[in-house]
Structure 1
Amino acid sequence: MTPSLAPPRLLTHLRHPLTLAAGAGILAAGVGALLVVAAGADPATAWTALDEGMFGSAYSVGSSLDSAAVLALIATGFTVAHRAGLVNVGGEGQLCAGGLAAAATGLALPAAVPAAIGVPLTLLAGFLAGAAWAAIAALLRTRRGTSEVITTLLLNFVGVGAVSLAVHEEGLLRQPVTSSETLPQSEALPAGARLPLIAGPESPATAVVVVAALALVITAVVLRYAPAGLKLKSVGHSPAASARLGLPVARLRESGLAVAGGLAGIAGAGLVATAPYVLAEHFSSGYGFSGLVVGLLARGSLLAVAAVSLLFGFLTSGGINLQLAAGVPASSVQIVQSVLVLLIAAAMLWSTRRTGSGS
């Protein structure tokens, strides 16, 4: 009987998430190697450049941690909304709203404002703006039945456009135009509204890393142990059954999506309050969409959110050095990330179908 059980056991091991992730990682790395060869670079040189870009200095590590923190905040928010049965694809727009509010708040503060007041106010403004931006989609979902996927997606373009308008109009946030070379961006935030460094002057790592870590831990505890987290889980599993139990389904869903938007808003505020401390067009750099990918890959696990955010954050920094030191386009890293996402998604689909078919 033991031989007859071997194939099912083998399939069970192959369907394990760690096995699927490892296989996808190996294949994605193979694609990366092919891209390096196609670019005419030496694989050993490219690997050294990638490694130095990720871990070669305090600056590269700090930059990677900052990127990972922004992704983690957005993906944590995505997980909260997903727990309530909603899909938040509006991280980019919510991030833009948070950055816009943070810049407006920071520039309105006195030049001598202490950091103990300026930094919390700037981050709070980002949270409230992101939450309000997401609340638009939440209300349309609960009051009118409009898909939050569509509304949050469309609100991304509105958020990006609002930032562009704000930094191009002198009556809004654009810095005073002194010549034709004046960049369309805001003035620099006062020192008291800037996120402090946490690892010394050699590293650009800021307090956004601490904020993201706290957000992850607090969210994990709330979702797992607090009544609010259990209610969100119930609503996500069955809104109808939750309503019969007397739970305020609409309010819980609205709160879940608003919190998701608020965390993305903090990410936007963190980007503005980090060097060069200005709001500029395209300041978001696509973090909203990358955070969405992290949230999708994490599949509801906040531990996975932390791991995948770190992976993507370090790969982003490594990709920049890959282009500078080895002549390989930095977009190669984005291609590898995309291939990794597609492979994991395909593996998850295969695993689900095999499990459902009873194989």
Structure 2
Amino acid sequence: MTLSLAPPRLLSRLRHPLSLATGAAILTVGVGAVLVVAAGTDPSTAWAALDEGMFGSPYSVGTSLNSAAVLALIATGFSVAHRAGLVNVGGEGQLCAGGLAAAATGLALPVQVPAAVGIPLTLCAGFLGGAGWAWIAALLKTRRGTSEVITTLLLNFVGAGAVSVAVHEEGLLRQQVTSSETLPQSQALAEGARLPLIAGAQSPATAIVVVAAVAVVVTAVVLRYTGTGLKLTSVGHSPAASARLGLPVSRLQEGGLAVAGGLAGLAGACLVASAPYVLAEHFSSGYGFTGLVVGLLARGSLTAVAAVSLLLGFLTSGGINLQLAAGVPASSVQIVQSVLVLLIAAAMLWSNRRAGGTV
């Protein structure tokens, strides 16, 4: 009897998001090794460069953790909206809106504002900015039936355009132009609005790591153990049945998408509140779209959100050093990252089909 139960348990463990991510990472390493050899680089040299870029110094680790924290915040928000049956593809625009709101707030604060006041105000402004941006799509969804996929996607371009306008116009947020070499960016935020370092001067890791960790844990608890999480799950499974049970479907959908936007906006605020403490054009570096990928791969599992965010965060930092130290083309690094995403997606698709009894 015990033997007959072992294979299903083993398959269940293999279908776990962490197991799938680990297997995909191992296969990706193999693909990366093939590309390194094809580029004419010694594998041992390439591995040393990759390891150095990921774990070789406090600076490398700190940079990786900061990147992973931004991805985790965006992916956590995606998971909240997904629980309510919505697909939020507007993380990039919401991140831009949050960064814009945070920059405006941080620049408006007095120079001597204490950190205990300035940092919460700046981060709250970012959260509200992102939430408000997502709420536009939420209202169109609940009041007019417009697909949130379309509206959040289009709002990405509007958000990026708003940042561009703000940092190019002196009447808005652009720093005073003193010469033709003055960069189109804002002034630096007040000292009290800047996120503190958490690992000493040698590491760039900031409090965004703590913020992201708290956000992931709190969201996981709310979604799994509270009535709000149960209501969101019900709405996600069947809005019609939930409405018949008396649940405020529209309000829950609007709230879920607003929270998703708020977390992306919080990520944008943290980027602005980190060195060099300015709002600049393209400051997001595409985090919103990468965070969307993390959310899709995690499939609503907050544990998987943390794991995949760390994986991509460290891989990105290692890939940069791989280009610089080992001479591996940037395209090879992009191929490796794309292969990783495809493998995880394919493995999870296989997992879902096996769990559903189809092949």
Instruction: Identify the TM-score tier after normalising by the shorter chain.
Output: over 0.9
336-345 or 93-102, which moves further after superposition? 336-345
Contact 2:18 / 2:307 at 8 angstroms: preserved in 1?
no
Is contact 2:17–2:304 with CA below 8 Å preserved after alignment?
Answer: no
Aligned to 1:119: 119
In structure 1, C-alpha distance between the alignment counterparts of 2:113 and 2:331, rounded to whole Å: 40
Please tell me the residue identity of whatever aligns with 1:103.
A
What is the letter of the counterpart of residue 88 of structure 1? N
Find the counterpart in structure 2 of residue 223 from structure 1. 223
Distance change >3 Å, CA 259–CA 180, structure 1 → 2: same
Quick check: 17-26 or 128-137, which moved more? Answer: 17-26
Greater shift in the superposed pair: 254-263 or 51-60: 51-60
Partner of 2:83: 83
Deviation at 1:8, TM superposition (A): 8.6
Mapping of residues 18-29 of structure 1, within 5 Å: 20-29=20-29
Q: Which amino acid aligns with 1:211?
A: V
Change in CA separation of 1:16 and 1:58 when aligned onto 2, cut-off 3 Å: closer
TM-score w.r.t. length of structure 2: 0.94
Residue 53 (structure 2) aligns with: 53
The code of the aligned residue for 2:200 comes to G
The corresponding residue for 1:206 is 206
Q: Give me the whole-angstrom Cα distance separating, in 2, the residues matched to 1:61 and 1:4.
A: 45
Alignment of 1:1-359 (within 5 A): 17=17, 20-358=20-358
For structure 1, which segment, 145-154 or 37-46, has the greater mean C-alpha deviation from structure 2 after superposition? 37-46
The one-letter amino acid of 1:341's match is: V
Question: Displacement, 1:85?
Answer: 0.5
8 Å contact 2:18–2:304 — kept in the other structure?
A: no
- The CA deviation at 1:26 is 2.7
Q: What secondary structure, in the 3-state scheme, does the structure 2 residue paired with 1:52 have?
A: helix
Q: Which runs of 5+ in 2 are unaligned?
A: none
Return closer, same or farther for 1:3/1:60 CA change in 2, 3 Å cut-off. Answer: closer
Opposite residue 196 of structure 1, the aligned amino acid is: P
Question: How much identity, in percent, do the aligned residues show?
Answer: 85
Give me the whole-angstrom Cα distance separating, in 2, the residues matched to 1:348 and 1:186: 43
Contact 1:111 1:190 (8 Å CA) reproduced:
yes
Alpha-carbon distance change, 23 to 306 in structure 1, aligned in 2, over 3 angstroms = closer
What is the alpha-carbon root mean square deviation over aligned residues? Answer: 2.2
Displacement of 1:70:
0.5
CA contact (8 A) 1:76 1:260 kept: yes
Deviation of residue 331 (structure 1)?
A: 4.6
C-alpha change, 1:237 and 1:55, in structure 2 (3 Å) is: same
Q: Residue 58 of structure 1: CA displacement?
A: 0.9
Matched residue count: 359
Cα distance 1:26–1:244, how it changes in 2: closer, same or farther (>3 A)? same
- The answer on whether the counterparts of 1:319 and 1:332 sit within 8 Å (CA) in structure 2 is no
CA distance in 1, matches of 2:77, 2:278: 24
Q: Give ranges in structure 1 of 5+ residues lacking alignment.
A: none
Q: CA deviation at 1:358?
A: 4.8
Larger mean Cα displacement after TM superposition, 72-81 or 347-356: 347-356
Kept in 2: contact 1:319–1:331 (CA 8 A) = no
Deviation at 1:126, TM superposition (A): 0.2
The whole-number CA distance in structure 2 between the counterparts of 1:217 and 1:8 is 30
Residues 99-137 of structure 1 show CA distances to partners (whole Å, capped at 9, x for unaligned) of 011111111111111111111111011000000000011
Question: Retained in 2: the 8 A contact 1:315–1:333?
Answer: no
| Length-normalised TM-score, structure 1 | 0.94
Q: Write the distance in 2 (CA, Å) between the matches of 1:120 and 1:8.
A: 48
**Does the 8 Å CA contact 1:134/1:152 hold for their aligned counterparts?**
yes
